[in-house]
Each structure stands twice: as structure tokens, then as C-alpha cells.
Amino acid sequence: MTAFLIVLAVAAEAYLLGSVDTGILVSKYLYHDDVRTHGSGAAGMTNMLRTFGKKAAALTAVGDVLKGVAAVCLGRWLFGYLPADAAVSPYLGVYLAAILAVVGHSKPIYFGFKGGKGVLVAAGAILAVQPVLLPVLAVIFLVCMVPTGMVSLGSITMAAAYPVLTLVYSLMRGLPTRDVVVCTVGAAIMGGMVIWMHRSNIRRIRDGKEYRFGQKHKSS
């Protein structure tokens, strides 16, 4: 029963933290508007940048990354209270928190279940779980984004690469098989969620209509 309550607490804290959508709050209280009524309709950094500018985008980015970090750190702390005989991977708590934080960001309970795409929240979670992978993921992102101007393409490619890098890194560290499986499956779920949230972008990339960084975007 104790283990179940701890797992429930981790899932709840991560989802509720993830639901505190920085982009929506910044657009509402600083610009008296709702970013979701503009551009792509998402409450993420890219749409904030093209709708309200650099300051709004920076505030959104910092808030989204920090809530990913906070959710994972709280999850790790709560899992520390598991009974010694629980026999579960210590990575289960951090990945459960990371996944639920991304879910909360994309489907925020406080804002009608319409939020952002979770890339920066996932980045914050990775920073708390595997900071060594972030520079590699950043390079992958830039290699895709810089020549094309498409932030979405960089995000999608980075999300696809994340579980592969996690598997390689886990094996290099010599983690027990149980932990390798938990880390790889958790990373695959996170990456899959980010890709799924970009499905409309994938269609626009295929059709040659995707927004490119620096372009003006008409409000819907």
C-alpha cells in the first residue's frame, strides 16, 4: 500500500506541476491575451516568440525547463521513501515524473486540457535525469534546425534520438538490466509523446508548409 501511494503521489505532483503552463500564464498576465489563439495554437516557446517576442519566449522557456526539473527532483525524493523490499528500479520514479510532467504540459488541468508540445519540459526532465545527454541532443537539434529553419524538425529528430542515446548511455554505464529497460522504455515514451504532439507539424513539413524560424505568422 505504501509503494502504491508513493507512485500515486509522484504521478500527481508531476502532472499538476506540468499543468502550470508558463506560456499561458505569461501571455495572460503580461500581455492580457491567450497565446493559444494565435499561430499554431500551442502554448510553447516557439509560438510565444512569434506572437509576443523574445522576452515572452525566454520566460516561457525558463518556466517550462524548471518545472521539468522540479517534477523529476520531487519524484526522486518521494521514491526515496519506498520500503527497502519494494525491489523497483530507482529510475522508475524519475521517469514516471518526467512522463507525467509532459502530459500535464500538453493537457493542463488548469487550462482546459490545451497546452504546449512538451519539448522544453522534457528537456528539463532530461537535465535532472541525464544531464550528460543534453549537449548531444542540442547538437542534433541544431543540425536539423539551422539549415531548415524548422524548430519542429529539430524537436522531432531530437525526440526520436533520445531513447537511442539513453540505451547506449545506460549500457556504457553498466547499469543493471532492470534499470536499462526502465530508462530506455521511459525515454521512448517521452520521445514518442513529443513526436505525437508534433503530428500536425509533420503533416506541414511533408506538405512544405511548415513555419520556418524568422517568418511572420498570421494569427488564426
Q: Give pLDDT tens digits for 179-214.
A: 999 999 999 999 999 999 999 989 999 998 887 876
Work out the percent of the chain whose per-residue pLDDT is above 90.
Answer: 77
Q: Are 190 and 101 in contact (CB under 8 A)?
A: no
Would you say residue 216 has pLDDT above 60? no
pLDDT on residue 3: 82
**109 vs 122: CA distance, rounded Å:** 18
pLDDT on residue 195: 95
Instruction: Tell me if the pTM is above 0.75.
Output: yes
* Per-residue pLDDT tens over the stretch 119-170: 999 999 999 999 999 999 999 999 999 999 898 999 999 999 999 999 999 9
Grid coordinates representing 144 are 536539423
Residue identified by cell 556504457 is 172
Binned at pLDDT 50, 70 and 90, residue 1 comes out as: low
Listed in sequence order, the residues at least 6 apart from 1 whose beta carbon sits closer than 8 Å to its beta carbon are none
pLDDT on residue 44: 86
Q: Is 195 left (phi over 0), alpha (psi -120 to 50) or beta?
A: alpha
Q: Are 136 and 123 in contact (CB under 8 A)?
A: no
Please, where are the H alpha helices in the chain? 2-18, 22-31, 45-52, 54-79, 91-106, 119-129, 134-148, 151-173, 177-197, 199-207
The angle, 0 to 180 degrees and rounded to 10, between the axes of the packed helices 91-106 and 54-79 is: 140
